[in-house]
Structures are given as C-alpha cells and as structure tokens.
Amino acid sequence: MLAVSCSASGVAVGGDLNPPAGPIAPTQRTPLGANTTPGDADSTFRIGAGGSYFLTGDVVGEVGKAGIEIAADNVSLDLSGFTLSGVAGSLDGISVPAAQFNLSIHDGVIRGWGEDGLDARLCRNSRVERLRASHNAVNGLYIGQQHNVTPPSPTTGGNSLVDCTAEGNGIDGLVTGANVIVRGCVASANIGVGIRANAGCTVADCTASKNSVGIAAGAGTTVRHCTTLFNTPGMFSGAGISLGENSVAIGNTSASNAYGILATGQNTVVANNSCYNNRNSGSGVGISMSGAGGRIEGNALSINDIGIQAEVRTQILNNTVMSSGPGSSDGIQVRRECFVMNNNCWSGAPSGGAGIHVLDADNRIEANNVTAYLRGIDVDVAGNLIIRNSASGNTTNYDIVAGNTVGPTVTSATIAGSSNPHANYDF
C-alpha cells in the first residue's frame, strides 16, 4: 500500500467551491469622513495617501476651504453620485494642488464653488469621468498641465476627460492642459469657452452650445465629430470651433454661431465639416482661416453671412457653398496667394455678393462653378490667374479688373469653336 504524506507547506489550498452569488465586492475602499480623511486649514476633507475613496453623502462647502483636497498619487475618488455644493467664499470643489500622478475622479456633481469645480491642473496620467460641473465661479473642470511649446513635452499630459458636462460656469466649462483626450463631453452656457483644450489634445464626440466659444483648440490639437451650436460673442469671438496652429477640424457640425470654424493659426486643416447659418450682423463666416499654409477641403457650407474666408496661402478645394437670403455676402472670399479649385458655389438670392471674391493678388482661381450670385467671380485687384471656371445665372458672371491672367470666356455661341484648355465658361 502506497502511503501519501502532504505537508501544509507543499499543498495549494483552493477557495470556496460554492462562492456566494453576485458580483465580487470591492475591498479596501475608504469612505470620506472626519475620522478617515480629516481636513485642514484649507480643505473640508484631505486625502493624503494613495488608495480608493468614496463619498457616502453630499458635501456642503465652507468659506475659505476646498471641499476635497487630494495630496497623494494613485488615488481613486468615487463621488458615488453625490453632490459637492459650494458656498460663497469657498475655494475649489476638488483641489489637487501639487503634481500628482495616477488619479481617477468620477461619478458625481460639483456645483456652486467659489473657484473651480475641479482644479487638477498639475496632475498627470489621470482620468476624470462622469462628472457634472455647474455654476462654479471660475471653471467647471480643469485637468492637466499647460504647455505652450509645439510639439508638447512628453513629460506633461497623459490625462483624459470623458463623459463630463459643464454648464453655467463663470469662465470656462471644461479646461485641459497638454496631451489630453476629451471625449463625449457636453459644455453649455458657460460665460467663456465651453471646452478649452491646450496643445496636442484630441477632442472627439463632444457638444458645445451657448458659450462665447464652443471649442477652443490649442496648437497641434485635433477636433473631430463634435457639434457646436448657438455660441455667440461675449467674453470671446462667438466661434463654434477655434483652432490654433497645426490643428485639425474634421467631420464636425457647427451651426448658428457667429463663426462656424475660426482658424487663426498657421498650417491648420479644416475638412469634411458642415457649417450652417453662422451669422453675425453680416460678418459671420462658416469657415474663416487667417493663418498661412492651411487647407479647407470637402466642407459643406450653407446660409452663412460669408461661406469661406481665407487670408493668405490657403488651399480651398472641393467645397460646396450655398448662400441664401438677404444679408448673405460672398460664397468664398480670399485675399492673397490662395489656391481655389473645384468648389461649387450657389446663391438663392442674386443680392448675395459674389460666388468667389478675390481681394488681393497672387491667387489661382481654377475649375470652380458659381451660380446665381450678384457677381459670379469678382476679382478686385490685378495679378491673379483665373482659368477653367464656369458661371451661370449670376447678374454678372465675371467681374474681373484689368491686369489679371484670365482664360478666354466661352459661351454657348462660341463653345463649338473653342479649343483653349484654359477657357472660362459663361452659360
């Protein structure tokens, strides 16, 4: 007979073969309270060690104090659906005063604080999600370090702001530092900017309405698949989306703002957006690009005061521009050194300016179609190239001053005998 002997040190002991039903409950979570996380001179509660913390009820602020201060790395703070309510003279709802790392703050309401709802502007590699910030005196939620150099430093950022809302805050709604992902957020009725993203960020699937600027994107930032509505001049310009240098706006909808998309920095790209009914007493613009070296391509624009406006060295390609109604001005307006090609401009009101309006020299206007404007292609200054365009139904199809290089005008009466590949068509 074989005897088997097992020692305690040599046997692996399994768990319960019949564990209780239901999900596994989290362990080692600490409730915020006077005994577990006592405050100090400038906070009601203070988290001074890493770990997982949660609220068990609403928190009411105190004068001269933040609601919760986080002074440690590796902290998870669950507001558990409760509300942090500030009072007059209070500080931030949640304050992270030093450069903390690996924070997670989520699931609750922060309202009515004397400064920011959340001030985590020094944190890194952190995540804020499902917070609702309203009627704070300064900003709603602020996460991540600012960095004003392009490209942003790899030592900053790494944060994310997800599924949060900000309404009615005293300056900006949602504010980020560099290298932050902002996704699925909503910002409305903030006095300043709805969503302000610093350098090197990605802003995606967000909505911003009734702010002074909907989304303000810093250098090297991408804004995609967002909606901006009813942003009007106040503290700032009234742009739906404002782009800094080397930034991209792609696949967005911007409607009923003063400016649909306002690109002030150089080397910006604005592509495949829809810009509708952006008006500002005759000076509103669907897409305005003042920086050099940019590209405006494949956008759909309708019923803006001015469809597209570009200052210098901009490519304007394959856009569809519709102008309509009293007060509408030019479809496309360029100043100098721009390349305007393969655009289709139509106006429902012949009083509506020019289909393409050239204000200065060294522009190339090629292969565009303009219909039903007061002036089809209007060139005010010498020194431009105008070839292979077509114009129909405008009060004046071509209004071009002397001194430009212009392909011959071909009409139905002369088209059969024309072989010039640079001809412009009048029909």
Identify the pLDDT of residue 2. Answer: 32
Mean pLDDT of 319-337: 86
Q: Comparing 19 with 254, which gets the higher pLDDT?
A: 254
One-character DSSP codes across 216-279: EE-TT-EEES-EEE---SSSS--EEEEE-TT-EEES-EEESSSEEEEE-SSS-EEES-EEE---
Is pLDDT above 70 for 337?
yes
Identify the pLDDT of residue 150. Answer: 46
Q: Comparing 119 with 9, which gets the higher pLDDT?
A: 119
Identify the pLDDT of residue 417. Answer: 87
Of 22, 23, 45, 25, give the one whose Cα is nearest residue 33: 45
pLDDT tens for each residue of 177-207 = 999 999 999 999 999 999 999 999 999 999 9
A 10 A CB-CB count for 117 gives: 32
Whether the full predicted model's pTM is greater than 0.85, yes or no, is: yes
**Could you give the CA distance from residue 372 to residue 331 in angstroms, rounded to a whole number?**
11
Residue 151, preceding peptide bond in cis (omega within 30° of 0): yes
Cβ–Cβ < 8 Å for 100, 71: yes
Identify the pLDDT of residue 145. Answer: 77
Of 69, 81, 11, 78, give the one whose Cα is nearest residue 38: 69
Mean pLDDT of 138-147: 87
pLDDT tens for each residue of 67-95 = 999 999 999 999 999 999 999 999 999 99
218 in helix, strand or coil?
coil
Cβ–Cβ < 8 Å for 94, 126: no
Reading the block at residue 260, the tokens are 């649909």
Residue 9 has phi, psi (to 5 degrees) of -75, -15
**Could you give the CA distance from residue 121 to residue 127 in angstroms, rounded to a whole number?**
12
Average pLDDT of the chain? 92
- The class that CATH gives domain 90-426 is mainly beta
Of 165, 102, 113, give the one whose Cα is nearest residue 135: 113
| Residue type for position 228 | T
Identify the pLDDT of residue 325. Answer: 53
pLDDT tens for each residue of 16-74 = 566 666 555 545 899 999 999 999 999 999 999 999 999 999 999 999 999 999 999 99
Q: Locate the domains of the chain by residue range.
A: 90-426
